[in-house]
Structure 1
Amino acid sequence: MNLADIADAVTSYHPNANLDIIWGAYVYSAKAHRNQSRRSGAAYISHPLEVAFNLTRLKMDEQTIAAGLLHDTIEDTLLTAEELREFFGDEIYHLVEGVTKISQIQFPSKEESQAENYRKMILAMSEDIRVVLIKLADRAHNIKTLGSLSFDAQQRIARETMDIFVPIANRLGIGWMKDELEDGAFMYMMPDEHESIRVELASGQNLREAYVEKVRTILENELMASGIGGKVGGRSKHLYGIYKKMQQQGIGFNDLYDLTGLRILTTSLKDCYSVLGQVHSLWKPIPGRFKDYIAMPKPNLYQSLHTAVIGPEGERVEVQI
């Protein structure tokens, strides 16, 4: 990961972004961390760069990405808060300060009621929601780099991630980040189960991808012919999601029928229901598997239609619209 990758990502969704702010933050952060390394031996600046890139995946503004590059400077370097404020102004300073405050919270309890209190405290402390997003982006990288830490530290951070940060990402509707945080924590909390599912999933990956591409092409052509706009993509279940389903249903890996599925993006709510009709006209819907989260959104305001059908070759296919 380098600054050019971040600049390219930002300009892809914000062509007129002021990249000078991001460049200045990078130079400042690289200087502050120049004599520091990660436990893995990597240069410390690699971490702020990964955090900043995660923020581009959330399509954040220049100030937030700059704060992501600077998020550890107050806590972990000799540079002072006053210097940061002088160089970058109040907005970026307050974002970095907010992340620093969250980082200083200790999460000793394993009780769910206490975990909920910590989640509420983090959200309440953050007058600007961007502070929470930076912290999530920080944790999303850290959870992938626990290999150099002690066993106790790995367990503590993994449990903290699962109990505190996964629910916050879910509450904010950031599905991809929730999945990455869950999978990262799962690898350390239940390494045997994680490895078993990873190996099983990898063994049939090529066949599943070919099947999803076949179904995707059929559906995309059907939508185009009917004049309904929509973007059709494949969707794979993440490892912890598979583990949870196996536990909830009391089944083994080979008994799962919906490891992959389709996600269809439309331009309007009305089109969501039109697409649903097209899907059900192509393939037989499975009874009891339809959920209307548009009419009744989830608590985090997620809106979508979920269905499952018997697709080509008699395979079950999950569809999110």
Structure 2
Amino acid sequence: MQAEAVHSLSRNERNPGVPLTPDWFDHIAVNTPAAERRAATLTTRRTVKKEWQAAWLVNAIRCMDLTTLSGDDTPDRVRRLCAKARQPLADRILVGLGLDRVTTGAVCVYPTMVSTAVKALAGSGIPVASVATGFPAGLMPLNLRLAEILYAVDQGAEEIDIVITRAHVLDGNWSALYDEVAAMREAAGAAHLKAILATGDLKTLRNVYKASMVAMQAGADFIKTSTGKEGVNATLPVSLVMARALRDYGARTGFRIGFKPAGGMKTAKDAIAWQILMKEELGNDWLRPDLFRLGASSMLGDIERQLEHHVTGRYAASSRHALA
């Protein structure tokens, strides 16, 4: 069905999903060499310099899920990260850019750290995202994964980053994948659901497209590339295929679903590359935090360093831009 209008989802609105419809993806073909060529030329055909580059980097901060997902996370580390999310740029850089305030799109933590983050971000308007469902492998019984979602939401998480069972994709068991994501969507309630596909584990770009479409049909508000723990995380060819799936789903349903690349992105150059992909494939609307997030941590340090160079003409030592 071709919708007359396409609209994005506000924070209080959810993707209603549709019944599982294999006809939308069963016979999809992905030309891998062509996807790789298209991805390789994105950043060579379009460049941004000087004040335009600075504007794109500031926008990347606004769309960033500032993240800590380490086994040695502590409440103090999370509080420091939240302070950085509140003020990701030093005062001297803000003044030089002519800006009053910039914040990150969200802070992403483990479920046990959600309450700490919620308290640290009170009054800031910055939502807390929580990974859940046995992150990063997801190899837990479904009832326990759903309980983890309920716990994170109860602690105050407004966004839930779930992981799918990769075996469902590799086996082509689309009904199992659909039912799993739909159950997670129901458990999340009003919280936005980001479905992590762990694309580095899915073997083919066809599988990436199919998993993307099933997750959206099941009600995911965002689709996300990776946990950051796989051997291969976010890549531009994979992101290109996911962007095409987003576009196709929107054309069929009238809903705009968000996209979050994560893992392996460390530089300001990476931040611009993924924004170029969004602009070229989906348009300017996907350069806003309600439809686009960058799952990153160390990337912010390089962005801040590049913006200081833009303002002062000099590069500061990386120690001056510590994350936490």
Larger radius of gyration: 1
Q: Larger RCO: Structure 1 or Structure 2 (Cα < 8 Å, ≥ 6 residues apart)? A: 2
